[in-house]
Amino acid sequence: MQTSDIGLIGLLVLLILIASAIFNWIAKSRNQSSELPIPQPLVNTVLGQKAMYVATTFADRPLERVIAHGLAHRGFALVGVSDEGVSVSRTGESSFLIPTQSLLHLGKTTAVIDRVVEQDGLTSIRWKLGTAEVETHFRFISSSGRDAFVYALKTLAGV
């Protein structure tokens, strides 16, 4: 076997692995899309705090990212609180609203899926998406922004 043959075999194996990963991602997204409703779209823009949208995970499976309906990708967001609920206005992705009646719990955490930060550096909101309980995690740009958000949410929903 020549060196070029080994290189071609290696390249073929790599392409198969990449294709398999893409196929699995698409299949998982389709499965979740059939299980989970589309999050309520954000109608009214609410002034909010600057944050990093880290992830949305299943509450009972914290290592499983919700990838359906555009919730998979991390990015910057403005996170606000109004009578309607928590508005998540994401940059480059679909924005959504977590309705007040869907809110279950507000907490702090240090790690989620592939992100580890300082002690209690992530703010987590547990909420109902259809019949599933999910947790959406944010890393606020400033501690004062996080504190203002937490105060507003506790005042609104008592979570």
| pLDDT tens-digit map of 2-51 | 777 888 888 999 998 999 888 887 877 777 767 777 787 777 766 789 99
CA of 116: how far to CAs of 10, 54, 75, 146, in Å?
34, 11, 16, 17
How many Cα atoms within 13 Å fall on the side-chain side of residue 156? 23
The pLDDT value given to residue 45: 64
Write out pLDDT tens, residues 58-103.
998 888 899 888 898 899 999 999 889 999 999 888 899 999 999 9
What is the CATH number for 80?
Answer: 2.30.29.30
The pLDDT value given to residue 83: 87
Number of folded domains that form the chain:
2
Predicted confidence band of residue 156 (pLDDT cuts 50, 70, 90) = confident
- For residue 20, what are the domain limits? 1-35
Residues 12 and 72 in one domain: no
DSSP code at position 70: G
Give the pTM: 0.82
Residues 4 and 28 in one domain: yes
Q: Which two tokens mark 99?
A: 């309705």
- Residue 45 host element (H or E): none
The pLDDT value given to residue 138: 97
For Cα atoms 48, 56, 16, give the angle at the middle one, nearest 5 degrees. Answer: 130
Q: Which two tokens mark 102?
A: 């869907």
Q: Specify the higher pLDDT residue, 43 or 142.
A: 142
